[in-house]
Structure 1
Amino acid sequence: MAQSKINNDANARKVVFGNEKLILTLDYNKRANVSQVIVNGQQVIQGDAGIYSMIRTKATRYATLTLSSDPSLTIAGNTIILKGISYGDQNLSIEETWTFTISANDIRFDIDRTTSKTVVAEDLGSPVFRFEAINTWEGAYQDYGGLAWFYLFNRKRDTYGVRSNTSEFWNSKTGNGLTVSVSAPGKQIAMDYSRAVDDKLVYTVGVSSTGMQPRFDADTKRRMYVRDTTDVWAPVEVQSGQSSQSMTLSYFDFNEKFGRGKLVGINQEQVSAVLNTIARIGVIGKKHFGGNSWHTPYGPICLHEQYIAQMGLGINDDNYLTGYQECLDYYRDNAIKPDGRVWPRWAYSNEDAMPKGYTDKGFYEAQWGYLLDSNPDFVINVAELYDQNGDLSWVRKHQQSSEKALDWIVNRDSNGNGLVEMMTDSYSQKRGSDWIDIIWAAYENAFVNAKLYRALVLWADVERQLGNSVKEKQYKTFSEKLKANFNKPTSSGGFWDAEKQCYVHWRDKDGSIHGTNMVTPVNFMAIAYGICDDQTRIKTILEIIEGQMQKENLFFWPISLYSYAPGEGNDWQFPFPNYENGDIFLSWGSVAVKAYASYKPEIALKYVKRVLTQYEKDGLAFQRYGRANQDGRGDDILSGNCLSVVGLYQAIYGINPLYNRFYLDPHITPDLAGTQIKYNYRNQQLTIDLDVNRYALSNGKFKIVSNTDFGFYNTGNELSYFKGNADKASLQLKASPKNELTLDIKKCDPNEVVFIQSSRVGGSGVLVYQVNSLKPSSYYTILQNNRTLKRIKSTQEGTLVFEYKAGDVPNEITVMLK
């Protein structure tokens, strides 16, 4: 760093310093504070406070904004040291030394502190940042993938607390980002964000020995978001003596770090905005991920939601995946009863719980009934997160708990028909049993059984990978029976209503059928999860739903097309449409998009675009939308409002990270052709090019092009191509470290494999190809541009290996049974 980047005005007792992206002004005139911060040319802090240290006891507030004497400044090279920062009174004296170390990429801010005696702090700022305004930044990401979204700080003194070591502040409009990373070995770090009475954004870092705990509620001490007070944290003891901490401030380009490429035919800014905000607000705190936001009054987490891991696919941030991994570990250890029952909810308070139906950590049975979908949903989330992180050792640690959760609910099939039963036998008992919690679904519930099918299919494959063939077979067998009986007509014990042309919601123990009103989550899950593979049924269901959507001109699919029958739900659900009896809940967007994507992707895309338009209007900051006026309702904000956009990524763009490969299965409409997506996959930056019936995937070294779905995996100098959704590679190659290679796959079957190879030669240029899934012990001819190179016999496993000299000219390689 050049010396000219540090300019000290000794008369004014101010020093301006920084690098090309960060400029700070340090004021040391009988005070110690950073009074100005400029990030990439944008002033984000300016004023008498800025950045400073603070401690507040019940009696007094102390801060470095007023000192009894001037501190002393020393400048040495690229380091600024401010000593003698003494503040306090006769009851408590504090002395600090601030050290700023400037480098080309960041500024390190060290605070060394001596406190005269142990004191209980009501509030602790080490330090406090007062940004220009509440909208200086749109939000701040935490190190576990959560988000403080300042759009939701709609009242003065709104405050949100987090346990995080890092805040990434960002603004999509300016493109500027500021990372504040805190380190204090041996200490606990907490942070909070407040909207001040003057509408500034106040960001406070707290460092303590014992860890800061929530102050509210009186009986639970779990509330992370509070109104009308900045005291989100309970009083904490600050010990006497010396302590040290370090902060690193660094700039990042928001678009470069979180940009999504070039999204053709759709509003790219809105797609990014939904995935950058709404998708993350269900992360209430470290170890607490769900679908309801931290802003919700009682802060519930529904463990009976199967899409929390799936959101990570769209969020596409390793911090979210790592954070959710830690969260699922916490749920495994604290949210599963000894018999395998998964507690379905967690909340700030116990107001939504059954009497005495909760734990000291906040998990509970909901007052509305035993919501049994929490058991399969826990397993689905573990399996789908494993697909994204590929961490076999981690998923192995969830094997026993996932088996317990699955076995608990599978054992609820008392009559052996493959359909598990709820805790109630009849709707007349007025208890819910699934996500639609105040509709009285009982006995054999199609909603829960559809989720169970998904869990069984996913977990059977995990058991295969973990080497437990007994459990694999058990879950496969049960899933097959479940599917067969699910698809039977209601007259034969199944869920298909031939008259209403839909899958019903449930049947009571007496055989009576309920929920014949085209409950969309039930029918969408049946299609999306592969329970229904009857193309005639699929077409019928989807066309009926689309017909009603056009008739009402709805911007999104309602929870049911028609009304439940009187008595099938809580009284205030009637008359139709009202709340869970016919209103619009966006949380079922991903299964809806998946259901339509293979049938008519243009219909799925239409509703994705309508959700994006709605985001532009209101930020999707609601629980649901009314059916009649399509107006936002409910302050119980759901992060699931993002799921149609997640569905865009998964089912239309075809992005499906799987445990051993990146699977690309697009359903592109002509208006999306030319889309190029940037995607992070296990520390690789992928570029995905999508045209109609032609797809390409590259990581900068290897590129695969195909006109059908395929899997891609690269480690080191080895590339694997997977045909379709096969979990075994069809074609593998080893290249030299300097080779860059493109494979354009033209054909891949046991009789013939054809691809065009394009290379940028480096090193030896020798490529070693391995072709799998061929006919065993058979002779194949290797051709280059129709010229025979060699003849090779495949192994008993149907594999052959050959070497090929790479060249700069594209060559067509054929492996032909001959």
Structure 2
Amino acid sequence: MANFMFYRKTNILLCVFTMLFLGYGIAGASTSLINKKDKTLTIKGHNITMVLSYGGSARITSLLVNGRKVISSVDGIFTSVNVGGKTYSSLQLKAAPALIKTKNGFEINGIRYGGANLTITEDWIFTTTGKAVKWRIERKFSEVTKVEETYAPVFNFDSINTWEGAYQGYGGLAWFYLFNEKLCTYGVHTRSSSFWDSKTGNGLNITVEAPGQKVAMKYTRTGDDRLYCGISVSDKDMTFRLDSGTNRRRFIRNSTNVWAPFERSAAKESQTITLSYFDFNEKYGRGKFVGINGGQVSAVLNTIARIGVIDSLHFGGNSWHTPYGPICLHEQYIAQLGLGINDPEYLKGYKSCLDFYRDHAIKPDGRVFSRWAYTDEDMMPGQGNKDGFYEAQWGILMDSNPDFVTNVAELYDMTGDKAWVKKQQPTCEQALNWIIDRDTNGNGLVEMMTDLQSQHKSSDWIDIIWASYENAFVNAKLYHALVNWAAIERQLGNDSKANGYEKFAARLKVSFNKPTSEGGFWDEEKKCYVHWIDKDKTVHGRNMVTPVNFMAIAYGICDNNDRRKLILDGIETQMEQEKLFFWPLAMTTYAPGEGKASQYPFPSYENGDLFLSWGSVAVKAYAEYKPELAVKYVKNVLNQYSKDGLAFQRYSRVKQDGQGDDILSGNSLSIVGLYHAIYGINPLYNRFYLNPHITPELAGTALKCNFRGQRLTIKLDNNRYSVSNEKFKIVSGKDFGFNAKINQLNYFEGNNTQSSLQAITEGPLTLIIKKPGNRQREWVQNISKISGNTISYVAGQLTPDVIYKLIVNGKIIKTLKSSAKGDVSFNTDCSSVSQTILLSDEN
């Protein structure tokens, strides 16, 4: 045995000696391998392997991600500069660089390339840390240089189909499905890009650290159908080349020159590129779906929902892919898209976007510009600013004012960032006050900028229908914004303003619900809310305009159950008759003269076609009344997705085929509505509120959701719902709120904004709510194991100044008197894994 061990050790030493003799080295626990003969360096990290060539060039010729080769070419990854139409790169060096082994990795020093009058000098430093490979590029230009393009580095993936897309650091998406011809190029301002492939589950995250510098990335489908990703670092934000008289176009065709030239100094610059692997299904998986196609749900929310994010400060509903590329600030559902996307980066990015809109898209008097676009062709003459925001040629679309406020309010609910919303407070007040002041006759309904349809100007999202004077569409949106914002004013300690907004909202609601004969919007004959009433009292849009009627129900303006039934049943009857897969903008035609001439004969475009962007509000309108109908249309949209990818602006009424090349992120909103109104996912500023309206076929669904840095599991069964994180869980048969910190769990009864039960404990805890209420409250306390610990409770929202019995497992333990606020405090022990606790003020 001793001889065998000696022989084995000797052979190992001989192998190592041979490798060293041949020019190979082992470093960092076998994380790298040098081949001095071929001048290559193989670097291995967690599921990342790259091969670097450092002879007469400096380049990465191979990149494997989780064992799958994604780059395998001589020009795989390199650095480059284009000056005066000439490209210089690390593919062709002035002299061979030197490879140096360092304590933590390797350096390639003396990478020099350029022309006769310009030399770019670089050092590349590679280290493997944890689960990542870090690549630091130190770079210096020999003189101040105006560059056409500069990339450090460029990634040339083997195929445009190597990855399905790349999520941006601000929550957007470069979706390569939309790179539908060679030389499509998309440029954005981002410091990270997460490439993914749902088929393999592989993901590659590329993050850039460049202190004091700006970072941008460009994606191109090359002439040979590869995918090119170039990283640019500059002193200022990269700008875009002039195109059709503007410099705002992010996506271009038949060209790779998306960025405008800029100047690079001769000072040394440095950036670190971090490459790491992620499991796509683990990071973006949504759980278990029952009764509905979960793969389709995930695909829609992971792609279509994001394509309205044009760049880091430009979020909207229209795709970056379209030639026009508009953002409609008069869309109230952009924040709500974040509920379905469920990516913290989207929420963070949209906060920055809304800050940008606050500072650049709002006039001093509080008027919110309605649009932004790549080009100015849709602009009302003279009604725009240098940042690209403008009033649309069709009219002053006044819903942009309440919609800005709604998006701020709903984003605040999702993030709970009170410091951020406080900075938005003055602007939101100004935006609301501007439109509230349009109520010149004091009836609670704000008036548009036009008085009569004959003026041929629009005032809302349906922009070529001539809605004038008192517009139900805009007033419904205003009501929603006022209710949401009043609650925030109260949270910020401004009860006076909260009261003012609530009073105006109440007055608006009363007038809205009056019959048209009394100046309201309810049409007794047509059994629906009308679109608008002109100043001369003529009534228009009596054709069951679905967004108006859905908003009236979903936003709580219509709380008359008989009216709700008339509207929703009436719509569904006609939907069945026409066999439509989705709700149209209007069930019947607008009257002659109420819209642009091109909208006739019915159905045509905004006069009767199917726009999926109103799916969320429609699903919510049906959810409490007949959730099975809401689910039916969600399934219809998913079925349509399986046929055509929902890659259209709208669907025709006659053939129900896709129309328009402007793909809308709003095509996902029915699926967002599924999450919001059917599954009941409602992130709120101080809790996660669960309010399901599931149908029996959906029972057994178990969703994964991100919430304030936690990964929650939401389980939905018939009359039994639960929310849990890794430590705490609440189970209830009714709607409830959940909030958890390190050692604290809070239960909120129903949609109460104040905690009904707080538990403080170091161990795992499950609360099963048996009987909510303020006079009797019963729950089961489950722990993982018996211990000597105690659980400290505060029960709130009880009847104030009342004696309560504390009963544990049927035994009266003590009596407690509630405080003037209705709170009682007590401890329970952990002597049993399950205990039933009852607080009762009854004998």
Structure 1 and Structure 2 fold alike (TM over 0.5): yes
Q: How does 1:219-618 map to 2 (within 5 A)?
A: 219-618=245-644
SS at the partner of 2:34? Answer: strand
1:136 paired residue among 139, 162, 176: 162
SS at the partner of 1:397? Answer: helix
Counterpart in the other structure of 2:687: 661
SS at the partner of 2:30? Answer: helix
Counterpart in the other structure of 1:27: 53
Q: Give the distance between the partners of 1:515 and 1:734, measured in 2 at CA.
A: 56
Q: How does 1:188-199 map to 2 (within 5 A)?
A: 188-199=214-225
Q: Give the distance between the partners of 1:808 and 1:499, measured in 2 at CA.
A: 65
1:111 is aligned to 2:137: yes
Q: Give the distance between the partners of 1:765 and 1:190, measured in 2 at CA.
A: 53
Q: Cα distance, 1:616 vs. partner?
A: 2.1
Count of aligned pairs between the two proteins: 816
> Which amino acid in the other structure matches residue 81 of structure 1?
E
Counterpart in the other structure of 1:626: 652
Summarize deviations over 1:551-598 as a string: whole Å, max 9, x none: 121111111111111111011011111110011101001000001111
Q: Cα distance, 1:216 vs. partner?
A: 2.6
Q: How does 1:7-26 map to 2 (within 5 A)?
A: 7-26=33-52
Q: Cα distance, 1:70 vs. partner?
A: 2.4
1:751 is aligned to 2:751: no
Summarize deviations over 1:257-315 as a string: whole Å, max 9, x none: 11111111111111111111111111111111111111121211111000011111111
Q: Give the distance between the partners of 2:119 and 2:95, measured in 1 at CA.
A: 13
Q: Cα distance, 1:799 vs. partner?
A: 1.6
SS at the partner of 1:25? Answer: strand
1:817 is aligned to 2:841: yes
Contact conserved, 1:3 with 1:77, CA < 8 A, in 2?
Answer: no
Q: How does 1:71-150 map to 2 (within 5 A)?
A: 71-76=97-102, 78-150=104-176
Q: Which runs of 5+ in 1 are unaligned?
A: none
Counterpart in the other structure of 2:828: 804
Counterpart in the other structure of 1:784: 808
Contact conserved, 1:760 with 1:807, CA < 8 A, in 2?
Answer: no
SS at the partner of 2:76? Answer: strand
SS at the partner of 2:368? Answer: coil
Q: Give the distance between the partners of 1:494 and 1:477, measured in 2 at CA.
A: 18
Range that drifts further, 423-432 or 202-211: 202-211
Q: Cα distance, 1:768 vs. partner?
A: 1.4
Q: Give the distance between the partners of 1:144 and 1:482, measured in 2 at CA.
A: 37
SS at the partner of 2:409? Answer: helix
Q: Give the distance between the partners of 1:74 and 1:398, measured in 2 at CA.
A: 52
Contact conserved, 1:371 with 1:434, CA < 8 A, in 2?
Answer: yes
Q: Cα distance, 1:806 vs. partner?
A: 2.1
Q: Give the distance between the partners of 1:315 and 1:436, measured in 2 at CA.
A: 26
Q: Cα distance, 1:8 vs. partner?
A: 2.0
Summarize deviations over 1:21-52 as a string: whole Å, max 9, x none: 00101112311110110000111111121000
Q: Which runs of 5+ in 2 are unaligned?
A: 1-26
SS at the partner of 1:471? Answer: helix
Note closer, same or farther for the CA distance 1:733–1:66 as it changes in structure 2 (3 Å cut). same
Q: Give the distance between the partners of 1:218 and 1:268, measured in 2 at CA.
A: 42
Aligned CA RMSD, in angstroms, stands at 1.3
Q: Cα distance, 1:764 vs. partner?
A: 4.6
2:756 paired residue among 710, 730, 754: 730
Contact conserved, 1:35 with 1:51, CA < 8 A, in 2?
Answer: yes
Q: Cα distance, 1:120 vs. partner?
A: 1.4
Q: Cα distance, 1:118 vs. partner?
A: 1.7
Q: Cα distance, 1:393 vs. partner?
A: 1.4
1:680 is aligned to 2:706: yes
Q: Give the distance between the partners of 2:808 and 2:495, measured in 1 at CA.
A: 43
Q: Give the distance between the partners of 1:473 and 1:114, measured in 2 at CA.
A: 61
Counterpart in the other structure of 2:17: none
SS at the partner of 1:265? Answer: coil
Range that drifts further, 667-676 or 757-766: 757-766
Q: TM-score normalized by structure 2? A: 0.95
Contact conserved, 1:489 with 1:498, CA < 8 A, in 2?
Answer: yes
Seq. identity, %: 57
Q: Cα distance, 1:790 vs. partner?
A: 0.7
> Which amino acid in the other structure matches residue 360 of structure 1?
K
Contact conserved, 1:759 with 1:807, CA < 8 A, in 2?
Answer: no
Counterpart in the other structure of 1:794: 818
SS at the partner of 1:272? Answer: helix
Runs of 4+ residues deviating >4 angstroms: 761-764
Q: Cα distance, 1:3 vs. partner?
A: 4.0
> Which amino acid in the other structure matches residue 704 of structure 1?
I
1:775 paired residue among 799, 809, 831: 799
Q: Cα distance, 1:368 vs. partner?
A: 0.3
Q: Give the distance between the partners of 1:466 and 1:764, measured in 2 at CA.
A: 42
Counterpart in the other structure of 1:641: 667
1:55 is aligned to 2:118: no
Contact conserved, 2:613 with 2:668, CA < 8 A, in 1?
Answer: yes
> Which amino acid in the other structure matches residue 237 of structure 1?
E
Q: Give the distance between the partners of 2:438 and 2:694, measured in 1 at CA.
A: 41
Counterpart in the other structure of 2:3: none
Summarize deviations over 1:343-388 as a string: whole Å, max 9, x none: 1111111111111110000110000001000010001001000101
Range that drifts further, 193-202 or 203-212: 203-212
Summarize deviations over 1:366-420 as a string: whole Å, max 9, x none: 0000100001000100100010111111111111111111111111111111111
Q: Give the distance between the partners of 2:832 and 2:331, measured in 1 at CA.
A: 51
Contact conserved, 1:423 with 1:442, CA < 8 A, in 2?
Answer: yes
Range that drifts further, 217-226 or 261-270: 217-226
Range that drifts further, 76-85 or 700-709: 76-85
Q: Cα distance, 1:763 vs. partner?
A: 6.8
Q: Give the distance between the partners of 1:689 and 1:327, measured in 2 at CA.
A: 33
Contact conserved, 1:216 with 1:232, CA < 8 A, in 2?
Answer: no
Contact conserved, 1:495 with 1:505, CA < 8 A, in 2?
Answer: yes
Q: Give the distance between the partners of 1:659 and 1:193, measured in 2 at CA.
A: 37
Q: Give the distance between the partners of 2:377 and 2:468, measured in 1 at CA.
A: 24
Q: TM-score normalized by structure 1? A: 0.98
2:740 paired residue among 690, 714, 717: 714
SS at the partner of 2:618? Answer: helix
Q: Give the distance between the partners of 1:197 and 1:186, measured in 2 at CA.
A: 35
Contact conserved, 2:85 with 2:148, CA < 8 A, in 1?
Answer: no
Q: Cα distance, 1:180 vs. partner?
A: 0.6
Summarize deviations over 1:431-472 as a string: whole Å, max 9, x none: 010000000001110000000000010111111111111111
Q: Cα distance, 1:103 vs. partner?
A: 3.0
Q: Give the distance between the partners of 1:173 and 1:39, measured in 2 at CA.
A: 14
Q: Cα distance, 1:762 vs. partner?
A: 7.6
Q: Cα distance, 1:77 vs. partner?
A: 5.4
Contact conserved, 2:785 with 2:833, CA < 8 A, in 1?
Answer: no
Q: Give the distance between the partners of 1:86 and 1:763, measured in 2 at CA.
A: 67
Summarize deviations over 1:218-244 as a string: whole Å, max 9, x none: 543111111111010000112224222
Contact conserved, 1:3 with 1:78, CA < 8 A, in 2?
Answer: no
Q: Give the distance between the partners of 2:510 and 2:182, measured in 1 at CA.
A: 56
> Which amino acid in the other structure matches residue 823 of structure 2?
T
Q: Give the distance between the partners of 2:786 and 2:527, measured in 1 at CA.
A: 61
